Amino acid sequence: MLSVLDIFRIGIGPSSSHTVGPMRIARRFVRALAKRGLAGRTARVAVELQGSLALTGVGHGTVDATILGLAGFAPDRTDPDEAAAALAAIRQSGRLKLAGHEIAFDPGGDIDLAGHIIPDLHPNGMVLRAFDAAGAMLLEGTYFSTGGGFVASEAQLLRPPEDDRIRTGNEVPHPFGSAAELLAMCAEGGRDIAALVLANEDAMRSRAETEAGLDAIAGAMDACIDRGLTREGILPGGLKVHRRAPSLWRALQANPQSNEREQLFDWLNCYAMAVNEENAAGGRVVTAPTNGAAGIIPAVMRFYCESDGARCEAKRRIFLLTAGAIGLLYKQRASISGAEMGCQGEVGVACSMAAGGLAAVWGATPAQVACAAEIGMEHNLGLTCDPVAGLVQVPCIERNAIGAVKAVNAARLALHRSEAEACVSLDQVIETMRQTGLDMSTKYKETSQGGLAVNVIEC
Ligand code: SF4
């Protein structure tokens, strides 16, 4: 089921692929055990984290997320403080409640970081096994965390796609599998991208539910910014990275600058860093389209979706529907996983989505929206993922600030360009990102084995 509401998932930090996805997978495995009536017979659960999930799993919170998923926590309903208390209790007692049945659990022994295993299907592999008291295996499951909080079983990834259109569980009136198809349908019906996508969403749920979902997403993004603007201190993980958003926020409040062009950068930087500092601290975040790139869309939306100084619901919905449609294209035609595409698949996609969303709010034509999204990606092509110490902090936090500013500039460039002048299409740049991602060395794909991760000395 692919909907714009699937692209924006409310969860917890620091990573959608390494925290949200593994938590959902562990939970899904326990549900499968319970469904087969095996939970009560289970005496031990063993988890193998493969590839990128192991190589950056400690810094990205994968181990903790897996434990929480086994204990029944769901990312969209998890309170970060409650989760921290549950983790501490499990670690201290060595006991975990699996679908209501208590078992012995040793995180060090029962979760294996198998970074040497790089699965062919996707670099974020997870194998879970349940055993009875005699050591006989009751159930085994292989899953993948495919980016942005999306998960798939081995069988699901092996299943060939029926066609290359965006597949949903419902018949939608305007199915599109490429930007070209999307633009053609907009031209045919004389409507903009947001209206077309909304008509598709109407086939999945009532209009009121979709609008409530979009408003909840915008509200969660705002709440994340607000928390990030006020929480001071050093981020967890040992890199001693200070939160910078609160001091920048105070400076903006106390000393309004006379140069508006400079001030624009400060506001966008401040909002984007507030989100990604919250994300790095394990706070509540919305995937946009991933956690590592979660600051760009909220920052641009907060700054520009206002009317008469107040937040404007209508503009925010247009922004999210348009940005969501662009995110669906990347998800369907390439990938939004840093472990597959490098950071171009996370920050690059977020920049592209934000550029398109903002252009739509500014009244751009569908072709100009696609052009903005294309520019937003074109100048992120080749961007590597090389997080220092495996944490989602350096370069991730600043990279979101830079991505937000870049998205606004991409929208401006698109608005000043005629359709005839565009020589790269959105479909072409998505395909270029996909090919570049496939060619990129695994050192630069969320493994912390190259780039800044090996050149910056951890203090
Ligand atoms: S470098 Fe980019 S892709 Fe890698 S963890 Fe940071 S934000 Fe995500």
Ligand 1 centroid – CA 399 distance (Å) = 8
* Range 37-61 burial, b when 16+ CB lie within 10 A, else e: ebbebbbbbebbbbbbbbbbbbbbb
Considering the domain architecture, whether residues 143 and 186 belong to the same structural domain is answered as no
Q: Is residue 197 part of a domain?
A: yes
Residue nearest to atom 8 of ligand 1 (CA): 292
To test the ligand 1 pocket, which listed residue (18, 381, 446) has its Cβ within 8 A of the most ligand atoms?
A: 446
Q: How far is the CA of 57 from the centre of ligand 1 (A)?
A: 13
Q: Is 346 in the pocket of ligand 1 (CB under 6 A)?
A: yes
Could you tell me the CATH number of the domain that includes residue 106?
Answer: 3.30.1330.90
The atom number, within ligand 1, closest to the CA of 342 reads: 3
Same-domain check for residues 349 and 394: yes
Query: Which one-letter amino acid corresponds to residue 412?
Result: R
- What local confidence, expressed as pLDDT, does residue 1 receive? 45
Please give the C-alpha separations between residue 179 and each of 185, 193, 327, 330, in angstroms, as whole numbers: 10, 10, 11, 10
Q: Which domain holds residue 226?
A: 179-455
Residue whose CA is at the smallest distance from ligand 1 atom 6: 396
Question: 187 with 136, same domain?
Answer: no
The reply to whether 132 and 221 lie within a common domain is no
**Pair 152, 183 in one domain:** no
Q: Are residues 137 and 192 in the same domain?
A: no
Residue 306 is predicted with a pLDDT of 86
Domain identity same for 80 and 204:
no
148 neighbors 337 (Cβ within 8 angstroms):
yes
Within a domain: residue 172? no
CA-nearest residue, atom 2 of ligand 1: 343
Contact yes or no for 124/51 (Cβ under 8 A) = yes
> Measured in angstroms, how far is the CA atom of residue 446 from the centroid of ligand 1?
7
> Would you say residue 167 lies in a domain?
no
Q: Which residue in this structure is represented by tokens 């008509």? A: 199
Query: What does the DSSP 8-state code read for residue 242?
Result: B
Which of these, 321, 333, 418, 324, lies nearest to 371 by C-alpha position? 418
CA-nearest residue, atom 3 of ligand 1: 343
Boundary (domain end) residue, out of 123, 158, 193: 158
d(CA 25, CA 2): 18
**Those residues with Cβ within 8 angstroms of residue 268's Cβ, 6 or more apart along the chain or in another chain:** 299, 300, 303, 401, 404, 405, 408
Q: Euclidean distance between the first and final Cα of the chain, in Å? A: 44
Cis check for the bond before 107: say yes or no (omega within 30 of 0). no
Atom of ligand 1 nearest to the CA of 345: 3
Cβ–ligand 1 contact at 326 (below 6 Å)? no
Mark which of 158, 192, 209 sits at the end of a domain: 158
Looking at the structure, tell me whether residues 347 and 451 fall in a common domain: yes
Distance CA(376)–CA(393), nearest Å, equals 22
Answer yes or no: is the C-beta of 293 below 6 A from any ligand 1 atom. yes
Regions in the chain scoring below 70 on pLDDT: 1, 160-170, 256-261, 420, 458-459
Residue 416 forms part of a structural domain: yes
> In 137-189, where does DSSP find H-type helix?
154-158, 179-189
Cα 64-401-396 angle, rounded to 5 deg: 30
Q: What pLDDT is recorded for position 163?
A: 41
Give yes or no for residue 338 CB within 6 A of ligand 1.
yes
Q: Whole-prediction pTM value?
A: 0.94
Ligand 1 pocket, 372 CB below 6 A? no
* Among candidate residues 158, 189, 221, the one where a domain is terminated: 158
260 and 360 together in one domain: yes
C-beta 351 within 6 A of ligand 1: no
In a domain, 166, yes or no: no
The pLDDT score that the predictor gives to residue 160 is 59
221 Cα–ligand 1 center, Å: 19
**Residue 402 in contact with ligand 1 by CB distance below 6 A:** no
Closest to 352 measured CA to CA, from 404, 281, 316, 291: 404
Residue 173 counted as domain residue? no
Q: How many domains does the chain have?
A: 2
CB of 446 within 6 A of ligand 1: the answer is yes
Counting from 1 in the atom list of ligand 1, the atom nearest the Cα of 346 is 3
pLDDT value at residue 398: 98
Whether residue 277 sits in one domain with residue 386: yes
Residue 288 lies in a domain: yes
Ligand 1 probe mutation, 17, 20, 392, 456, most atoms within 8 A of CB? 392
Cα separation values, 108 from 17, 112, 325, 417, Å = 21, 8, 42, 56
Does one domain contain both 147 and 186? no
Distance 13 CA to ligand 1 centre (A): 13
Q: Are 100 and 229 in the same domain?
A: no
- Let me know if residue 431 belongs to a domain: yes
